[in-house]
């Protein structure tokens, strides 16, 4: 487990689980084990699970606004999880959690409007523009100005590892701008595409922090690509990213 001070702001809390904390996803493991792993994780990070809302990723671009009434949803079962790829909240002491392995988790904070958001940006999410969609919602519904929005992108697979022998036909054409051919392989730079989307949405890149950690290189993290594509093994699970504004 690691506490991340991406925003250099004591009012915010970001924690990321690692492989020793266990699989955090009900989709990729036994419920009992996931509940145990999550309980231990909350103890370590000193967050009361009653103040957490945990989503069930649908791999699209659905974003929900969550409120105090959503506290505790999805924390110890999948049934009560909001089905979406991201949340927004203005509630203090309400921690937003999601699971991931290789995809980007993008965290948003507007210090002027005191609003935060977290999204799981998988390939479909990037293609559907989930990140600019959050910026649009923050602007339209919460009165944020893009120039005030601060963003952090969690550890994710980087182009050092995200390589394929051929270009998948299901990729949208925009990816071609982010694919480089090297030694007969095609490297995909998903971080760069997300960064460009953020820039196009009017956010100042000096307010954006991209965690340099590659989840495939760094064995502290679960990596779908490492397990399945490289090692031809079973997918071992997902790590958690949790984000909130303290009381
Ligand atoms: Zn790598």
**Centroid of ligand 1 to alpha carbon of 110 (angstroms):** 31
Q: How far apart are CA 66 and CA 9, in angstroms?
A: 22
What dihedral do alpha carbons 132, 137, 143, 146 form, nearest 10°? 0
Could you tell me which residues are beta bridge partners of residue 15? 3, 242
- What's the CA-to-centroid distance between 226 and ligand 1, angstroms? 9
> Within its chain, how far is the Cα of 200 from the centroid?
20
Rounded-to-integer distance, Cα 53 and Cα 236, Å: 23
Can you give the pLDDT at residue 88? 98
What confidence score (pLDDT) does residue 203 get? Answer: 98
CB 134 within 8 A of CB 119: yes
Dist. CA 3 → ligand 1 center (Å): 22
pLDDT (tens digit per residue) in 208-231: 999 999 999 999 999 999 999 999
pLDDT tens digits, 49-90: 999 999 999 988 999 999 999 999 999 999 999 999 999 999
Q: Which is it for strands 86-89 and 63-65: parallel, antiparallel or unpaired?
A: parallel
Catalogue all structural domains in the chain, each as residue range(s) with its CATH number: 2-245 (3.60.140.10)
Ranges of the chain whose pLDDT falls below 50: none
Centre of ligand 1 from the C-alpha of residue 153, in Å: 16
- C-alpha of residue 174 to centroid of ligand 1, in Å: 22
pLDDT of residue 153: 98
The predicted structure's pLDDT at residue 243:
98
Q: For strand 115-121 and strand 150-153, is the pairing parallel, antiparallel, or unpaired?
A: unpaired
What is the reported pLDDT for 176?
94
**How far apart are the CA of 160 and the centre of ligand 1, in A?**
4
pLDDT recorded at residue 217: 96
Give dist(CA 228, CA 81) in Å, integer: 27
Tell me, in angstroms, the distance from the centre of ligand 1 to residue 81's CA.
31
How many angstroms is it from 33 CA to the middle of ligand 1? 28
3-state secondary structure labels for all residues of the chain? CEECCCCCCCCEEEEECCHHHCCCCHHHCCHHHHHHHHHHHHHHHCCCHHHEEECECCCCCCEEECCHHHCCCCCCCCCCCCECCEEEECCCCCEEEEEECCCEEEEEEECCCCEEEEEEECHHHHHCCHHHHHHHHHHHHHCCCHHHCEEEECCECCCCCCEECCCCCCCCHHHHHHEEEECCEEEECHHHHHHHHHHHCCCCHHHEEECCCECCCCCCCCCHHHHHHHCCCCCCCCEEEEEEECC
Rounded Cα distance, 15 and 18, in Å: 10
Q: What is the mean pLDDT of the chain?
A: 96
CA pair distance 139, 46, nearest whole angstrom: 32
Distances in Å between the Cα of 152 and the Cα atoms of 176, 191, 198 are: 25, 11, 11
Say what the pTM is.
Answer: 0.97
């Amino acid at each position: 487990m690691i506490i991340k001070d991406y925003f250099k702001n004591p009012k915010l809390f970001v924690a990321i689980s690692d492989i020793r904390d266990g699989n955090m996803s009900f989709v990729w493991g036994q419920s009992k084990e996931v509940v145990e792993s999550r309980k231990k994780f909350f103890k370590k990070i000193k967050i009361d699970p009653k103040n957490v809302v945990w989503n069930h990723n649908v791999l699209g671009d659905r974003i929900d606004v969550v409120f105090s009434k959503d506290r505790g949803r999805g924390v110890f079962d999948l049934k009560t999880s909001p089905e979406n790829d991201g949340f927004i909240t203005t509630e203090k002491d309400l921690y937003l959690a999601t699971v991931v392995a290789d995809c980007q988790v993008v965290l948003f904070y507007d210090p002027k409007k005191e609003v935060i958001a977290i999204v799981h940006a998988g390939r479909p999410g990037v293609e559907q523009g989930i990140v600019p969609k959050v910026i649009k919602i923050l602007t339209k519904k919460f009165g944020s100005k893009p120039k005030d929005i601060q963003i952090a992108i969690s550890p994710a697979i980087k182009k050092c590892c995200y390589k394929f022998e051929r270009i998948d036909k299901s990729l949208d054409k925009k990816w071609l701008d982010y694919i480089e051919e090297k030694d007969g392989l095609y490297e995909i730079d998903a971080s760069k595409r997300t960064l460009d989307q953020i820039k196009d949405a009017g956010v100042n890149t000096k307010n954006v922090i991209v965690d340099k950690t590659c989840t495939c290189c760094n064995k502290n993290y679960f990596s779908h690509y490492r397990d399945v594509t490289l090692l031809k093994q079973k997918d071992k699970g997902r790590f958690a990213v949790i984000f909130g504004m303290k009381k």
